[in-house]
Amino acid sequence: MFTGIIQAIGRIQTIDARGGDARMVIEGGGLDFSDVALGDSIAVNGVCLTAVALGAASFTVDVSAETLRVTTGFTVGSEVNLEKALRLADRLGGHLVSGHVDGVGHVRLVEPVGESHRLVIDVPSALARYVMRKGSITVNGVSLTVNAVDATGFSLNLIPHTLAMTTLKHLAAGAPVNLEVDMIARYVERMTQFLHLTDKD
């Protein structure tokens, strides 16, 4: 489990294709690995991955073909947002994030608004029902608040701190992004489905 508060910006150093899967070595960008053990989870651009090897300044992960199929952003040299798994004693500064990407959206617009930037993202139609004004969403692993929704997507405000501390500063129109919707919305939908089934019995 994660919070969507990015702790470092890393960089993918190598990708070793293994059939449809891949093994990646990721430079940690100064991330403190002193409390990370083999088998621990680290979110990479919003994707929960398991550390299978640890170096002084990097870590190695195995990525399945399915994960590669449904996510974006894994190429050699790419910067990636990093977050270690949440501990029970940590502050929940963002929102509860599983690290299981729901789909890939595409940036429609990035424009400056004062010192911040407005980011508009087109969302896959299957995910649109989970996105609501003032709700939470994760974009490339970053916990953000939805400002507005329209027929095909949603808009966000990126403050200078978020731009400085994450890879979102590199986004431009057309860029793909990993999206994870608020898990509470999914649970509510699932429970509602069972309530409807119960009502019919």
Query: Could you report the per-residue pLDDT of 26-83, keeping only the tens digit for each?
Result: 999 999 999 999 999 999 999 999 999 999 999 999 999 999 999 999 999 999 999 9
Q: What angle do CA 46, 47, 51 make, to 5 degrees?
A: 120
CATH code, 116: 2.40.30.20
Of 56, 84, 112, the residue at which a domain comes to its end is 84
Alpha carbons 29 and 10: distance in angstroms, whole number: 4
Query: Could you report the per-residue pLDDT of 95-122, keeping only the tens digit for each?
Result: 889 999 999 999 999 999 999 999 999 9
Supply the pLDDT for residue 121: 98
For residue 130, give the 3-state DSSP assignment: helix
State whether 114 and 148 are in the same domain: yes
Number of separate domains in the chain: 2
pTM: 0.91
Range of the domain at 65: 8-84
Alpha carbons 195 and 201: distance in angstroms, whole number: 10
DSSP string, 18-77: ETTEEEEEEE-TT---TT--TT-EEEETTEEEEEEEE-SSEEEEEE-HHHHHH-----TT
